[in-house]
Structure 1
Amino acid sequence: MEILVSVQIFGSQTTMATTLKDAVARKPVLATIRLIVPAGAARPAPPVGPALGFYRLNLMAFCKDFNARTQKYKAETPMQVTLTAYKDSTFEFVVKSPSVAWFLKKAAGIETASSRPGHVMVSSLTLRHVYEIAKLKQSDPYCKHMSVEALCKSIIGTANSMGIEIVKDL
């Protein structure tokens, strides 16, 4: 038996056929939790413990799996995690790379961005830095569809809003 499912994406209506088996196989979602956890440092203490414990999820399973997935990153690198908790106390999570702002701060060697971006420049980076950050971000699950050029434009915009000047050569 097939069921027609109507999905609205960005204003356009799409209809797709799905089987009853596929529709029943989907688990009911309890919550979507977003966390920022240092790489390789997940433990059942705050902030992870209270966030996951509230939904009665297995803290140790998450910590072990997260630490295993992020062992290739340098310690204390802030990793963005999107965790989907289901009503049967199971979960799935996606680990994203650090934010563009974090990469820009590290590349520029600064602690904080400019308090007056556009007026006070705190540092400068080359287009090569921007390209390298774009290549790293392209490995993110949500950025795979974007071209390197589009990511570079986005990174340059973020740098400008932080008071970091992008130059051709230093």
Structure 2
Amino acid sequence: MAKVVFRQVKLQIGAGSANPSPPVGPVIGQAGANIMDFCRQFNAATEHMKKGDPIPTTVTIYKDKSFVFKLSNPPVSFFLKEGAGIKSGSSLPGKEISATISREKIRGIAEIKMQDMGAFSIEQAMSMLEGSASSMGIGVVD
């Protein structure tokens, strides 16, 4: 017999940085799952990643208080800010360019994020990323 899903939660947690404090503890604890067990498993699963990178995580908690989680790649905005060397995008996107990023870096990000984006070609993924960069006030240069 299949397990019955009690709750599904989406969180963004720093790689290797899960701990029982908010936001992880209260969300996992309210569903009745073992918080420390989740933190231990999450940190072990993300130990090969750069510590602190934001990892979108979907946690499925079952009625019997067991859980499974699925990790995704960091968000596009994180990669764009890291590639451009800035902490945040422009406060006036479309009018003010706060930084620039090269097409080579856009291609590298596209290769990582392509399967998450649903693009059929690398050029499509790059076009989507260039649009995201533009909306953040990041210019794309050759």
TM-score after normalising by structure 1: 0.77
Deviation at 1:154, TM superposition (A): 1.4
* Contact 2:119 2:125 (C-alpha < 8 Å) held by counterparts: no
Mapped to 2, the partners of 1:63 and 1:54 lie a distance apart of 15
Percent identity, aligned pairs only, is 38
RMSD: 1.7
Correspondence for 1:156: 130
Correspondence for 1:59: 35
Deviation per residue, 1:16-61 (Å, 9 max, x gap): xxxxxxxxx4332211101111110112222111110000012222
Mapped to 2, the partners of 1:84 and 1:146 lie a distance apart of 29
Give the number of the structure whose alpha-carbon radius of gyration is greater.
1
Unaligned runs of 5+ in 1: 1-24
Unaligned runs of 5+ in 2: none
- Name the structure where strand makes up a greater proportion of residues: 1
TM-score after normalising by structure 2: 0.91
Q: Which of 125, 130, 135 is the aligned partner of 2:111?
A: 135
Mapped to 2, the partners of 1:70 and 1:50 lie a distance apart of 21
- The higher-RCO structure (CA 8 Å, 6+ apart) is 2
Q: Is 1:42 matched with 2:18?
A: yes
- Name the structure where helix makes up a greater proportion of residues: 2
For 1:135, the aligned partner's letter is E
In the alignment of these two chains, the number of paired residues is 142
